[in-house]
Amino acid sequence: MRFRDLKKKKQLQDKKSKDELSNVHYARYTDRIKAFITDMFMIYAPILYIITYVFLDGKEDFQSSQIAPLIGVSLYGIIYAILLSKLAQTPGKKAYIIKVVDDKTHKKISFFRAFWRFVAFLFSATTLLGLLVPFYRKDNKALHDILASTVVISDEN
C-alpha cells in the first residue's frame, strides 16, 4: 500500500474517532448523587456491618475504635477502584446507566487511577468545595474528576 493511502486511511480513522467522542452525553449530577447513595447502601453499609458485628463485639466497640472506620473506608475504596477499573461502573452507577471513563479516550481507567479518584473524592467531599464545581461546568466534572482526568458519561447506547 502506498504511503499516501495509509495517511488518508489514518486521517479517516482519526476523524471517525473524534466524531464518536463528540457524541458523548455527560451524566446528570443528580444521577451521580443517586448512584453514590445506592453505592453507600450496597457496598459500604455491608462492610461496616461485617466489621462491627463479625470482627468486633458490636456498635460500642466500633465507635470506640479508631482503626475500624479507617479499615471500612479503605476496603470501600479498594472495592470501588476494582469495580471502576474492571467494569467502569459500580452497582449504583449501573442502576443509573452511567460510567466513569478517561476524559480524553473515553476508555476504562486503571485501578490506581480509580483509587486516586476515590482519595480525591474524599478530599473534595471533606471540603465541600469540590462537590460544587459541577454546577459551574458544562461537562459536570467534580474536583475529583478533574484531578483524576476522568469524566462520568451516560451509557444509554
Per-residue model confidence (pLDDT) at position 7: 66
Mean pLDDT over all residues of the chain? 90
- The proportion of the chain whose per-residue pLDDT surpasses 90, expressed as a percent, equals 76
* Whether the predicted pLDDT of 11 surpasses 80: no
Domain ranges across the chain: 26-154
At 95-148, the pLDDT tens digits run 999 999 999 999 999 999 999 999 999 999 998 888 899 999 988 899 999 999
Our CA dihedral for 61, 64, 70, 75, rounded to 10 degrees, sits at 10
**Mean pLDDT value of segment 13-22:** 57
| Distance between CA atoms of residues 7 and 118, nearest Å | 41
At 56-69, the pLDDT tens digits run 999 999 999 999 99
